[in-house]
Amino acid sequence: MKQDLLSQALLSSLMQGEDFFRFQVVDCLPSTNAALKALCRENPTLSEGLVLIAERQTRGHGRYDRVFSSPKGGIYMSILLRPTASAEAATLLTAAAAVAVAEAAEELTGLPFSIKWVNDIYRNGRKIAGILTEGSMEANGRLSYAVLGIGINVLPPEEPHPEALSSLVGRVFEEKEAPDNPRARLVAAVLCRLLYHYRRLSDKSFLEGYRSRSMLTGRTVSFSHGDCTQRGEVLGIDGDCRLLIKTEKGASVALQSGEVQLTDF
């Protein structure tokens, strides 16, 4: 049986001298994003780099408040960041984090991972991670802070996922693939890659990695735009991380946000 420790001391030791991040690890929270936002409200000057990690969540959620199953054995962490950017930077943070998760997983497994616009990471067609960026906006339209939530299915969970999700959910490691302390190693690898991209957020250099891992480009999708659902072919991702689609009627659409579903499988 391999070790799977997740502690502040171990995480700090794996960061290879990088001291931007500081860690707080707890057994259980309803939601790490909600808890970290509460800390920010209590202490408006809380410095960026705090990483709050829970062994499990009871009310983990993703976009549109959808449930993110969070049994023990996964990574459920939220990171406090204070980018000097407008509120639109939240989309870039989400995309940069998706690249960081994919890069870290590839580094530790030697396997390819893909990104489903805008915030999900996949292995072999199954979702292994989701990202949710939430924040507070100042009166001038700039971000006061951003809370970047990352949930990753690392190993087969101690408690199974709900039956409705079991055929859709994957994991970074199968049991035989995992190194010692896989969660701690993955957290450290994700944060190292995230910090690299965060420090270069304005030049959008992470977009090359995002585009190369896009699982939607060239595929037919259905999507909501305005008050109707449409179908079209995904052409790519632009410099603002919008999804470029050519509809069945020949129109060009650049989605800033929304739901997209593959229809060509």
CB-based contacts of 201-204 (< 8 A; 24+ apart in sequence): 201/83, 201/85, 201/89, 201/92, 201/93, 201/96, 202/85, 204/92, 204/239
The low-confidence residues of the chain, meaning pLDDT below 50, are: none
Number of domains in the chain: 2
238 and 199 fall within a common domain? no
- 3, part of any domain: no
Q: Structural domain of residue 250, as residue ranges? A: 220-262
- 146, part of any domain: yes
- 2, part of any domain: no
42 and 140 fall within a common domain? yes
CB of 206 closer than 8 Å to CB of 99: yes
* Residue among 19, 211, 17, 1 at smallest CA distance from 98: 211
| Residues 87-116 pLDDT 10s | 677 889 999 999 999 999 999 999 999 999
Question: Hey, is 107 helix, strand or coil?
Answer: helix
| Residues 221-231 pLDDT 10s | 999 876 788 99
pTM, 2 dp: 0.91
Task: Give the CATH number of the domain where residue 123 resides.
Answer: 3.30.930.10
